[in-house]
Chain A
Amino acid sequence: MAAAMASAAERAVLEEEFKWLLQEEVHGVLRQLQDILKEASHRFALPVGGTEGPIKQENFMLGTSSTDQVKGVLMLQGDALCQADINLKMPRNNQLLHFTFREDKQWKLQQIQDARNHVNQAIYLLTNRDINYQFKTGSEVLKLMDAVMLQLTRARNRLTTPATLTLPEIASSGLTKMFTPALPSDILVNFYINLNKLCLTVYQLHALQPNSTKNFRPTGGSILHNPGAMFECGSQRYEVSHVHKVECVVPWLNDALVFFTVSLQLCQQLKDKVRGLLAGDSLCFKRVSDLLKWMT
């Protein structure tokens, strides 16, 4: 609509709007973004250089219903599981097995550390762009928003997309050696974050005999494997007979995801405003015409 308007008065209005955008509106949005992202960063609650005292530990109960064959109490401290208490009811003999992490063993949830680092990168990009910084062009604002949105999208993806692992990778992950009493050789355990939930998966395996008539097809990588998946580890072939998955919502992960969504929306709205003005669409005219439409 406004691109064809060559009238000097209209161009002057566009220029005033653009100056206002770069000097006032952009800084307002950036301040909001900084506040939200600092809140998000606090949720990840990791000390910096050991100066902030002990990190809080939170317990999560996974699998609370009586029908669950797997129950777990996990203690999460920052980005690592520092204690795990797992109860497993074996289906064939109703035997109850109990495992805990060996003393001083921790399992790091890389997804949380990566998400935290991406949030901190986004905060860093915004740090030197406060009220004292003068944006000279709209393109500068667009480029900054693109960079911030990339980090926030990555942060969110790290939480929503757990790693796809093959069964041999899960078997050799080091997690199996962290328990006491030692995990039996026909049990595999894996932890991951899926969206806002902490998940525990337990795979019950049954060894395939070398002369078995079953057609052996090793399964590829997956977030969650199904019963019937086969793999080879060392010289022994296995098939997954049972899969148990229990999970629990982590409230601060939920908060963080909400903060990411809100921040991404703020960035996109600012980009749309800047792009619109660069293309010659006046915000002022839009508002006036909206007002007129509403009045008539």
Chain B
Amino acid sequence: MAGNSLVLPIVLWGRKAPTHCISAILLMDDVSMIVTGCHDGQISLWDLSFDLEINPRALLFGHTASVTCLSKASASSEKQYIVSASESGEMCLWDVNDGRCIEFTKLACTHTGIQFYQFPVGTQREGRLLCHGHYPEILVVDVTSLEVLYSLVSKISPDWISSMSIIRSHRTQEDTVVAVSVTGILKVWIITSEVSHMQDTEPLFEEESKPIYCQNCQSISFCAFTQQSLLVVCSKYWRVFDAGDYSLLCSVPSENGQTWTGGDFVSADKVIIWTEDGQSFIYKLPASCLPASDTFRSDVGKAVENLIPPLLFSVLDRADKQLLICPPVTRFFYGRRECFHKLLIQGDSSGRLCIWSVPDTLEVQDKTKGLEMTTSTSLQAAFHKLTPRPAGIIDQLSLIPNSNEPLKVTASVYIPAHGRLVCGREDGSIVIVPATQTAIVQLLQGEHMLRRGWPPHRTLRGHRNKVTCLLYPHQVSPR
């Protein structure tokens, strides 16, 4: 839908919200909107109010495969752009204010992570997207044209990158990209302002390649509070490293067969790590991990088993344990604007978003209670709250006595040549209605509201069970 003329589709959803099995989450910088991508390729925009009330606003259609990652794509607060990538290699640039797709491209490979960063180019800073995925390098992509400008490659053991973090050093004015490959090797690239400035840049080789023996790395985060440590979360353990020389400071294994799926720093001395089941744990780091303490780095060089372990501080659990068909997606966001919210946001396969607001001063929690969820809603819950209820296309013809729900439509085909919509229903009946007139009934008020059984329609009865498939052969081939 790129282009100047905007065609706004209007959708008659019906009572049941569309499925939204969340696969990616993003919180916009001004904490006013949450963007979620799902396994079917749609992207949902949810408005977030000051008191953390969530309200789904729009559903963006564009991708044909599941959304793998989302990232912001603009720095300024006027343009709110995001970029999304899917399993089939599609990349889309969206304006989330009006839901327009501004740019679209398709690459041969899938991205599994994208981060927006402003690199210094000469005296200015230009926005770039750093992408990694099922290919052995990090691609630096122009944020407006979605073209690959250059790539960060490895000389030693080049392989797919699992996770990546960008560090800005105020001391040296250099930007460092730190990444972990699928074989557990830490890679470091240094991007100076000359590199970003060159046209047709040659690939940039890594500055350092250090095996850190981290298998199945899920995430890597740089501590924004101390600027001196790195958190690496793998599926069976999570570790803190010194960001200066990448030496190991502490390590925590997972318990009870749980799998860690990510984590982040919540303050200078606390980290939050979440699992595949949707539980999150806040740990207090030992003094040997804190640059401010006298015993910083006192454990460096010791074997993993002998490191002082962090203390479990608090557990964040879901209020209702609904049955999920795939692991939920959890991410921690630290708002940098007016409201310094620290939010843990989780989206799951039922189209539900849960938010925990992590207070700045965390007191020791009662271990059995944990930090309570602040708010939660789902697409279906939002649909239930609406009055009047969202209408389906032939609801007025599908009333069942003694039931609140209309008869379900189970198959349909639209015949443009005759302007007719044919709907098969779960009781075996087939209804043929004039398409535009039936839409008018739901959307507009008028004389038709007084007439019963309007629009004129035909009902065919013959099947005993729900209609599963309808075909109008003439539309497919005139013969």
Chain A contact residues, CB within 8 Å of chain B:
3-4, 46, 48-50, 108, 110, 113-114, 117-118, 120, 124, 128, 132, 136-137, 139-140, 142-144, 147, 150, 154, 163
Contact = CB atoms under 8 A, between A and B. Distances in A.
A49 B108 CA distance: 29
B183 A49 contact: yes
Interface in B168-219: 182-184, 211, 213, 215-216
A180 B323 CA distance: 62
B87 A139 contact: no
Interface of B: 21, 87, 108, 134-136, 158-160, 182-184, 211, 213, 215-216, 235, 257, 259, 276, 323-326, 349, 464-465
Contacts of A50: 211
B159 A113 contact: yes
A110 B154 CA distance: 13
20 contacts: A4-B464, A46-B183, A48-B184, A48-B215, A49-B183, A50-B211, A108-B158, A113-B160, A117-B159, A120-B182, A128-B259, A132-B257, A137-B323, A137-B325, A140-B323, A140-B324, A142-B325, A143-B21, A143-B326, A147-B326
A89 B257 CA distance: 61
Report whether over half of chain B's contact residues are helix, strand or loop; otherwise say mixed. loop
A111 to B, nearest CB: 12
Contacts of A118: 134
A110 B136 contact: yes
B257 A128 contact: yes
Contacts of B465: 3-4
A128 B183 contact: no
Contacts of A136: 323
B213 A139 contact: no
Closest 3 CB pairs of A and B: A139-B325, A140-B325, A143-B325
Contacts of A117: 134, 159-160, 182
Contacts of B464: 4
A57 to B, nearest CB: 17
Nearest to B327: A128
Nearest to A47: B183
Given A136-B323, A143-B326, A48 B183 contact: yes
Nearest to A130: B257
A163 B135 CA distance: 13
B157 to A, nearest CB: 9
A48 B185 CA distance: 10
Nearest to B108: A163
Q: Which of B134, B259, B325 has the most CB of A within 10 A?
A: B325
B187 to A, nearest CB: 14
B136 A128 contact: no
Q: Which of B134, B184, B349 has the most CB of A within 10 A?
A: B134
B134 A114 contact: yes
Nearest to A114: B134
B279 to A, nearest CB: 14
Contacts of B158: 108
Given A50-B211, A113-B159, A137-B323, A128 B182 contact: no
Contacts of B182: 117, 120
B248 to A, nearest CB: 14
A163 to B, nearest CB: 8
A154 B259 CA distance: 25
A136 B259 CA distance: 18
B87 A150 contact: yes
A276 B341 CA distance: 48
B211 A49 contact: yes
Nearest to B214: A49
A97 B30 CA distance: 66
Nearest to A144: B326
A108 B158 CA distance: 9
B223 to A, nearest CB: 26
A147 B349 CA distance: 14
A142 B326 CA distance: 10
A140 B134 contact: no
Contacts of A147: 326
A49 B180 CA distance: 13
A80 to B, nearest CB: 10
Given A113-B136, A132-B257, A137-B325, 13 more contacts: A48-B184, A49-B211, A49-B215, A113-B159, A113-B160, A114-B135, A117-B134, A117-B159, A120-B182, A139-B325, A143-B21, A143-B325, A147-B326
A287 B173 CA distance: 72
B326 A140 contact: yes
A124 B215 CA distance: 11
Nearest to B276: A128
Contacts of B108: 163
Contacts of A132: 257
Nearest to A118: B134
B455 to A, nearest CB: 32
A49 B213 contact: yes
B294 to A, nearest CB: 34
A132 B257 CA distance: 9
B112 to A, nearest CB: 10
Nearest to B212: A49
A128 B134 CA distance: 22
A121 to B, nearest CB: 9
A260 B75 CA distance: 45
A49 B349 CA distance: 35
Nearest to B215: A48
Nearest to B184: A49
Nearest to A79: B159
A108 to B, nearest CB: 7
B216 A124 contact: yes
A127 to B, nearest CB: 8
A114 B110 CA distance: 12
A137 B21 CA distance: 15
Contacts of A144: 326
Contacts of B259: 128
A125 B270 CA distance: 30
Contacts of B21: 143
